[in-house]
Each structure stands twice: as structure tokens, then as C-alpha cells.
Amino acid sequence: MGRAKHDKRKNRESLSKRLGKTARLIKARDSHRCVYCSATEEEAGCPLQLDHLICRSAGGDDTPENLVVACKRCNSARQAMTLQQWARYAKTKLGLLFTARKVTNQAKRKLDN
């Protein structure tokens, strides 16, 4: 299924909308910035997204410990790479400097209610 067709499926609801308050708390935990490139919504030019550290196709779930904030560019570029693969790719191809450990530790931080 093509991406445009996938996004226009009937009753398609964004992860942020489905998670509601939890999504807002994750975005606050991550300072409303992409954890990979540090872009804000304004800098990215579009709403920030939630990215699964372990892809759903690999058994990842929608828990705060498995979700971080990402800009559309980073989230799209990552695709289904593991976090370690993505960190290496992002460093060599995009010049981004983050480690899988740093991102994982960020995701483990407690959400402020």
C-alpha cells in the first residue's frame, strides 16, 4: 500500500491523537524538540511526531518508554532501522550526533503529570 493511500485510510487516527494526554507528556518530557536533531516544530516547519524506538513491526509498543519526539525528516529517514543503525546512518549521512543510549535514556525519563 502506498504511503498516501495508507495515510488516507478511513478512520485513520494519529498516534498523538490516540494517546492524548500521554502524547502531550512525552512531548513535554522531550522539551518539544526532535530527540535526534533538536528541531522544534517551528524549525521543522511541521508538527513533531512520535517515533517508536522499537518499531511496531518488531514488537514495539505504544508506551512512553518506547516513544520519543521526532521531526518528520528524522522519522521518515529512520524508517524501520534499529536505533543503533539509525544513529550510525544519521551520523554519516545527515551529520547528526546522538547515541542510541542517550535516546533510550531520554525515553526512560519519568513523565511529569
The domain that contains 84 carries what CATH number? Answer: 1.10.30.50
Decide: residue 34, CB within 10 A, 0-12 exposed, 13-18 middle, 19+ buried. buried
113 located within any domain: no
> Model pTM?
0.85
Q: Identify the residue with better confidence: 16 or 29.
A: 29
The Cα–Cα gap between 63 and 42 comes to 26
Distances (CA, A) of 1 to 4, 9, 28, 50, 95: 8, 10, 33, 22, 31
The Cα–Cα gap between 67 and 49 comes to 10
Give the 3-state secondary structure of residue 18: helix
Over residues 23-31, the mean pLDDT reads: 96
In the chain, how many domains are there? 1
Look at residue 44 in the predicted model and tell me its pLDDT: 96
40-92 per-position pLDDT tens digit: 999 999 999 999 999 988 999 999 999 999 999 999 999 999 999 999 999 99
Q: How high is the mean pLDDT of the chain?
A: 90
Residue 33, domain extent: 3-108
Would you say 27 and 18 are in contact if contact means Cβ atoms under 8 Å apart?
no
Residue 8 pLDDT more than 60? no
Would you say 68 and 83 are in contact if contact means Cβ atoms under 8 Å apart?
no
Look at residue 4 in the predicted model and tell me its pLDDT: 53
34 located within any domain: yes
